Amino acid sequence: MTATLPALRPTNPRFSSGPCAKIPNYSLNMLEDAPLGRSHRAAVGKSKLAEAIDLTAEILGLPEGYRVGIVPGSDTGAVEMALWSMLGARPVEMLAWESFGEGWVTDVVKQLKLDAVVRKAPYGEIVDFAEVDFDKDVVFTWNGTTSGVRLPNGDAIPADRAGLTICDATSAAFAMELPWEKLDVVTFSWQKVLGGEGAHGVIILSPRAVERLETYTPAWPLPKIFRMTKGGKLIEGIFRGETINTPSMLAVEDYLVSLKWAKSIGGLSALVARASANAAAVNDFVSTHDWIANLAVDAATASTTSVCLKFVDARIKDGASFAKAVAKRLEKEGVALDIGAYRDAPPGLRIWCGSTVETSDVATLMPWIDWAFQAEIAALS
């Protein structure tokens, strides 16, 4: 154990992977323009929702014809809307390399009872996209929030595919470049990279996805909350700010604050750069300490948002207990909150490095991880 505690502490110790850290210098006073106590169907409510939709499309750089909708149920609700509304029209391939991808496999195979091809990879790896048949509908996560691995690019997805690509990008949107022309349905929650509040999801549809919705009726009944068409036509209001159920206008205002901050610092390229710098600060530390390693096997697929680490010291016999003890020690000191690995993932640490996190805070945390590790090793003696 080091003799003294590190001299500096992170200004913001919030490294949770969702809900994530608020934007720098955040204050509740920023929400004063929220139309509280007003109907979201009133002009003021619809204008706020429409503004959030338009800013989302602008900052993400969506192609012409792509539609953005704010939906209930966080990212989970957005993914479920896509699965239940679009799958079944043609064969399906499900790709999973972490717990949320596994959840989508369960829904499609056991709930929708589709005879899907299922491709899986262990934590720290991704499936081989060269083996995937994109003439089928393909469902996958872009970034494994619980495994710390991501697609490095969309090169393996053909532009002339016959099937739809349905991508859960909840911990990638706004922090990673996404090849929109290769993606037909993209979902995320604004509680991740932009540090928004929970309960709301976003679904983005390509023209091909809209065509599927307007030409295909699933064999199973659809709950009202999943329905995006009426009379064989897309319910355009969903994508103009007329949400399916009542949204929190306070949460919408909070999202608008984050979007305007993102635009003010330079938009998507600046957001990507911030996340990349944060992840680099962790990786620089890992590269100089032989008792810790990135869970990602291949550096090319290592996440820049949900950076997952594992302890590899031979003296550690009970990895789960050791990792929990390190995380608890850091939380007790008030320097890192909520950085234990996800419950279904291998034991270790998960440090959120998304775009709202300051690189100086990530760098300041690293000596504390060293201190906590040495303290727990000493406790084993």
Same domain, 38 and 168: yes
- pLDDT tens, position by position, 109-127: 999 999 999 999 999 999 9
Say yes or no to pLDDT of 90 above 80. Answer: yes
Beta carbons within 8 Å of 21's beta carbon, 6+ residues apart: 12, 14, 15, 195, 352, 354, 356, 357
Question: Quick one: pLDDT at residue 2?
Answer: 46
Neighbours of 259 (CB within 10 A): 22
- pLDDT tens, position by position, 362-379: 999 999 999 999 999 999
How far apart are the C-alpha atoms of 324 and 329, rounded to whole Å?
Answer: 9
Angstrom CA distances, 80 to 2, 356, 362, stand at 49, 27, 34
| Angle, CA of 232, 237 and 76, to the nearest 5° | 85
Beta carbons within 8 Å of 172's beta carbon, 6+ residues apart: 142, 143, 150, 178, 188, 193, 305
Give the residue ranges of DSSP H helices in 167-292: 207-215, 249-264, 268-287
| Single residue among 264, 299, 320 that ends a domain in this structure | 264
Beta-sheet strands, E only, within the chain? 67-72, 92-96, 117-120, 137-141, 143-144, 149-150, 165-168, 185-189, 200-205, 229-230, 233-234, 292-294, 306-311, 349-352
Counting beta carbons within 10 angstroms of the beta carbon of residue 206, is it exposed (0 to 12), middle (13 to 18) or buried (19 or more)? buried
Counting beta carbons within 10 angstroms of the beta carbon of residue 152, is it exposed (0 to 12), middle (13 to 18) or buried (19 or more)? middle
Same domain, 272 and 259: no
pTM recorded for the entire structure: 0.97
In the block, residue with structure tokens 């494994």:
144
- pLDDT tens, position by position, 22-46: 999 999 999 999 999 999 999 999 9
Structural domain contains residue 144 = yes
Neighbours of 167 (CB within 10 A): 30
pLDDT > 70 fraction of the chain, expressed in percent and rounded: 99
Same domain, 369 and 326: yes
| Single residue among 264, 297, 316 that ends a domain in this structure | 264
Question: Domain total for the chain?
Answer: 2
CATH of the domain at 274: 3.90.1150.10
Structural domain contains residue 187 = yes
**Confidence bin at 3 (pLDDT 50/70/90):** low
Structural domain contains residue 119 = yes
Q: What are phi and psi of 54, to 5 degrees?
A: -65, -40
How far apart are the C-alpha atoms of 256 and 253, rounded to whole Å?
Answer: 5
Say yes or no to pLDDT of 1 above 50. Answer: no
How far apart are the C-alpha atoms of 15 and 334, rounded to whole Å?
Answer: 11
Same domain, 215 and 320: no
Structure tokens at 5: 């505690």
Structural domain contains residue 188 = yes
| Angle, CA of 112, 113 and 115, to the nearest 5° | 125
In the block, residue with structure tokens 């100086």:
360
| Single residue among 264, 291, 326 that ends a domain in this structure | 264
* 59 neighbors 262 (Cβ within 8 angstroms): yes
- pLDDT tens, position by position, 223-282: 999 999 999 999 999 999 999 889 999 999 999 999 999 999 999 999 999 999 999 999
Sign of the Cα pseudo-torsion (294, 298, 299, 304, in order): negative
Structural domain contains residue 318 = yes
Same domain, 96 and 113: yes
Question: Quick one: pLDDT at residue 209?
Answer: 98
Containing domain of residue 149, as a range?
31-264
How far apart are the C-alpha atoms of 350 and 366, rounded to whole Å?
Answer: 13
Q: Pairing between strand 200-205 and 185-189?
A: antiparallel
